[in-house]
Structure 1
Amino acid sequence: MLTLTVRSALFTLAASAVAANDAQSASLKVTGPESVSSIENLKVTTTITNTGDEALKLLHDPLSPLSQFQDDSFKIIGGAKNATPSFKAIMTKFIPSIAFAQKACTALALVESVNVEHDLSKAYDFTKAGEGPIPLRLTTS
């Protein structure tokens, strides 16, 4: 049987772990037009909002929603022909320790947001997808 002191210490440790996990959190929202008249207008905006209890520092991973590169961050399911558009932009090598050392990050204060526009017409070749609706979703890297 645990003594009151040991139980109190375990409870305090568990409570601090829960508090630490709740302190940092963020939300991600992807928005774009409901329809576009030409593929050149296919742009979406990702919004990351700090929803936690303390400031966040987010690394600029090239495959993250923060990336300014024309990268392969989106999974495009296919158009009328059910053909997935091919990626045609850049591939990058990402080393988190180097990015952190170069301060390649975005700081978000409490409830602060950052918006990044992504021009999908420059990153993907839609010629095989055909006309019609093209479902999109953000990939996780």
Structure 2
Amino acid sequence: MVVRMLLVVVIVFITLWLPYRGLLVYNSFATLLNKKKFMDLWFLMFAKTCIYINSAIKPILYNVMSGKFRRAFHKLLRCPRTAAIGNSGSVTASTTSGIFSSLRKSLKKSTPEEPDLKTDPGSSNDMNISSFKEPVQEDSYGQTEL
């Protein structure tokens, strides 16, 4: 099972990187042999799109081919193990709201409470923002320096 998944990932990698790498090899030899480089804009865009597709398709391949990856991904997102999945394969709103509520809880834990200086200026200290003005100095010509 693992060998089959590795084989599929390698074949997809080679197939999707081949246009760009082929272009680089051809242009390298064209430079050495003083030939004209191949610089077709559409082919270059196609080759780079293949590279992006290669990056985007890997998680999909892992999900399709590995139950262990699916379980680890659900654990990473803190999805309940009995997530309700509809007939179309989409995750229902209860699972999605569970993910967002756990994210909100973790964000609340990680951000410290800060006093609001506008509503309660003397809550944490006796200074306010207006007391931090820098002194203005004048030079010998009467102009102010910042």
Q: State the TM-score, normalized to the length of structure 1.
A: 0.25
Between structures 1 and 2, the one with greater strand share: 1
Q: Relative contact order, CA 8 A, sep 6+: which one is greater?
A: 1
Q: State the TM-score, normalized to the length of structure 2.
A: 0.25
Between structures 1 and 2, the one with greater helix share: 2
